[in-house]
Every structure is written in structure tokens, then in C-alpha cells.
């Protein structure tokens, strides 16, 4: 089993800005083998050193420090340990300092009091993570949207993308032979069911099996996929008010735009 790539988010405030950027980027990589960890309120060089020592190469460290002392320390210590270190704020502050002919205040956490939207985004992201792949059924009624579909139809990346738009999204797999949970049916939440053409389904599943180095009997075979699709369609017909969408040739952005305009 290959160890997940560790992505560490470090900030002298909450780290919500960096987490939103990282999450939005990771949407493009589907369910990659990664582990995201956040270290907020890191405000001394000693804390920076502890953070670096706790991270194994070839980890990636994404940070938002407003003080040059902490930024320089993390860049130096991270490079010495073989980590990839990304400074989100430094380059922009340099550009704006020159363009505005003004020095930044370099006050940690000043953005926090200015952005209610950012905290709504982070709240939505955390909710969506807790309700991925059928988890969190006891609170699924608190979602803004429920996405359903068979395996590999893009439920998770679409859910995360929508959560970056402040939407709390739950996604639930449709598995042949397993009854849909009553909590999903009872939830008075807008629901959308994803559909995908069988050729595209087979291709995506073969690619995934190749990346994972595993073989699941029938997983990427057309006959097996067709039985899953037939079962899924029967489930959709039994759900009152559900909208369905063919995502075969749609990007995550296009799918998300359709949902916000036609479902929500």
C-alpha cells in the first residue's frame, strides 16, 4: 500500500484561506491518495521547526504567513528536509507593495474579521468531507444538496467543488443489491442523480484500477456496469423529486453550474 502524499497547511491565523485554495485545487485530482493536515496559529520559529520535523518527505507544505521571519524560516527548514514548500501570500504582497506604493500591516489574522464568506466556505467543506460516499447519514438532512450515483461518476469532486461555493453537499453511492438508506429518502433536501454512458464508465474504471494496481472482478466490465446502471435507474425512479443529469461529457465546473441553476 502506497503511503498518501501529506499536504500540510500552515498559517499564523486559522489557515482557512490556504485550505480553501488547496481544496479547490485538489478537486481536479479526484480521489487522489493524499492526507491533508492543518496547523493553525503557528506564530514562532520554534513552532515552525516543530511543524517541519513532524512532516515526512516528500510532503508538500502550503503556508500563509504575513511575517517574513516565519516565511524565511519555513522555506529554509522545509527545503533542508526535502519538502516542497509553497508560499501563498508572499508573492502577492510583494506585487501589491510595489503597485500600491504602500507597506502591508503584516498583522496575523486580519483577514478573519473581514470575510464571513470564507468561514461559510470552510464550514461547507468540512460538512461535505464528513458526508462523502454515504457517510454521516444521521445529519444528512442538514445538507443543501444530495448527489447520488454509481461508482466513478464524479460525485466526490463535484461535491467538493460545490462546497467551495458555500454549499453543504452529501454524496451517496448507489450499489446494486443494497437498499438506499431511509435517511436519504426522508431528507427534504434537493437531490440530483448522476448518469454516465457505459463506454465512459468502463474507461474511467479501467484507468482507476490501473492506478490502484488492483483488480476487482467485474468492476470495469460492460455487462457488470450495465446491471449497475439498470439498478441505479430503478432507484432514481423511486425517489420523489430527484433530478438526473448525464455527466458523461461534462466537466466538474459544467456539472456544478447546471446543478446551481436547475436543482437549487
Topology classification of domain 118-262: Rossmann fold (3.40.50)
Burial class of residue 184, CB neighbours in 10 A (0-12, 13-18, 19+): buried
Q: Do domains 5-114 and 118-262 have the same CATH topology?
A: yes
CB 41 within 8 A of CB 12: yes
Q: How far from the centroid of its chain's Cα atoms is residue 211's Cα?
A: 20
SS3 content of the chain, % helix, strand, coil (to 5): 50, 15, 35
Band of residue 238 on the pLDDT scale cut at 50, 70, 90: very high
Band of residue 212 on the pLDDT scale cut at 50, 70, 90: low
What is the C-alpha to C-alpha distance for residues 211 and 197, in angstroms, rounded to an integer?
A: 21
**pLDDT value of position 114:** 47
**What are the structural domain ranges in the chain?**
5-114, 118-262
**pLDDT value of position 19:** 83
Classify the C-alpha dihedral 105-109-110-111 as positive or negative.
positive
pLDDT tens-digit series, residues 153-196: 999 989 988 998 889 999 999 999 999 999 999 999 999 999 99
* Residue 240 burial (CB count, 10 A): 6
pLDDT tens-digit series, residues 16-61: 778 888 887 887 777 678 888 889 889 999 999 999 999 989 899 9
Topology classification of domain 5-114: Rossmann fold (3.40.50)
Amino acid at each position: 500500500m502506497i503511503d498518501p502524499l501529506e499536504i500540510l497547511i500552515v498559517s499564523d491565523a486559522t489557515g482557512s484561506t490556504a485550505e480553501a485554495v488547496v481544496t479547490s485545487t485538489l478537486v481536479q485530482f479526484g480521489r487522489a491518495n493524499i492526507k491533508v493536515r492543518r496547523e493553525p496559529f503557528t506564530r514562532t520559529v520554534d513552532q515552525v521547526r516543530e511543524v517541519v520535523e513532524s512532516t515526512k518527505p516528500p510532503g508538500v507544505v502550503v503556508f500563509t504567513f504575513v511575517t517574513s521571519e516565519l516565511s524565511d524560516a519555513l522555506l529554509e527548514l522545509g527545503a533542508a528536509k526535502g519538502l516542497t514548500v509553497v508560499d501563498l501570500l508572499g508573492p502577492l504582497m510583494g506585487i501589491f507593495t510595489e503597485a500600491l506604493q504602500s507597506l502591508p500591516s503584516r498583522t496575523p489574522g486580519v483577514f478573519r474579521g473581514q470575510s464571513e464568506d470564507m468561514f461559510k466556505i470552510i464550514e461547507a467543506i468540512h460538512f461535505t468531507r464528513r458526508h462523502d460516499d454515504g457517510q454521516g447519514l444521521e445529519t444528512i438532512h442538514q445538507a443543501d444538496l444530495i448527489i447520488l450515483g454509481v461508482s466513478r461518476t464524479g460525485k466526490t469532486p463535484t461535491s467538493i467543488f460545490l462546497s467551495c461555493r458555500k454549499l453543504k453537499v452529501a454524496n451517496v453511492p448507489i450499489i446494486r443489491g443494497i437498499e438506499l438508506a431511509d435517511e436519504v429518502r426522508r431528507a427534504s433536501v434537493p437531490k440530483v442523480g448522476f448518469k454516465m454512458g457505459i463506454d465512459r464508465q468502463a474507461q474511467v474504471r479501467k484507468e482507476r484500477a490501473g492506478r490502484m494496481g488492483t483488480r476487482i472482478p467485474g468492476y470495469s466490465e460492460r455487462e457488470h456496469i450495465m446491471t449497475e446502471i439498470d439498478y441505479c435507474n430503478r432507484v432514481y425512479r423511486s425517489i420523489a423529486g430527484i433530478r438526473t443529469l448525464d455527466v458523461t461529457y461534462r466537466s466538474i465546473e459544467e456539472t456544478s453550474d447546471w446543478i446551481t441553476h436547475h436543482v437549487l
